[in-house]
Amino acid sequence: MQLKQTAFDFDMPVEESKPVTKLVPPKQVFVVQEEPIDIDLRPASANKSKEQTKKSTRGRMKLSDMAASVEKIDIPDDEELFSKRYYSIGSVSEMFQVNHSLLRFWENEFDILKPKKNGKGDRFFRPEDIKNLKLIHNLLRERKFTIEGAKDFLKKNKNADKKFETIESLKNLRVFLHELKAGL
């Protein structure tokens, strides 16, 4: 079957414009497979299965993920913590299992965090800063305070760090007693 193509020239005056007809040779069609092809018209991101999709690390963390991350923090005991004068931001971020950027954000938001900076601008956290970070982490991640709510809580409760240390020591005592009971 021969196909016809019609073209118009729009630069010509109206009375002179006539359609131009050209003959186009037929295209050759090759059949690669005889089975029907199932085409999915959804976006490519929707075509991926759940195993193939990479979990995004951007955006707000789910509350269930936040609760699971609270158990992951690995801060050494006071004797070991105070054995060093300074900790790099990398080691502190590993202790709290958070990104460096989150620590820098918390530094900007909370006045109680004052890490030392060298000439290059590298941050070095003192053991006192790590204790304050632990308090901030507790307020934001365990007790689910907002940033503003945590700021207000720290301003109103000047002895919040001492109360937090007391609560932490009671939690450690509770864990010890549970282990002791399980051993009997």
- pLDDT tens figures, 134-145: 889 988 988 888
pLDDT at 74: 74
Q: Where are the domains of the chain?
A: 64-164
pLDDT at position 82 is 83
Rounded to an integer, what distance in angstroms lies between the CA atom of residue 32 and that of residue 27? 16
Distances (CA, A) of 72 to 44, 88, 176: 35, 19, 18
Q: Which two tokens stand for residue 162?
A: 């001492």
> Which pLDDT score is estimated for 36?
59
Q: For residue 169, what pLDDT is reported?
A: 79
pLDDT tens string 75-96: 877 788 888 899 999 999 888 8
Task: Name the stretches of the chain with pLDDT < 50.
Answer: none
* 64-164: in CATH 3.40.50.1220: no
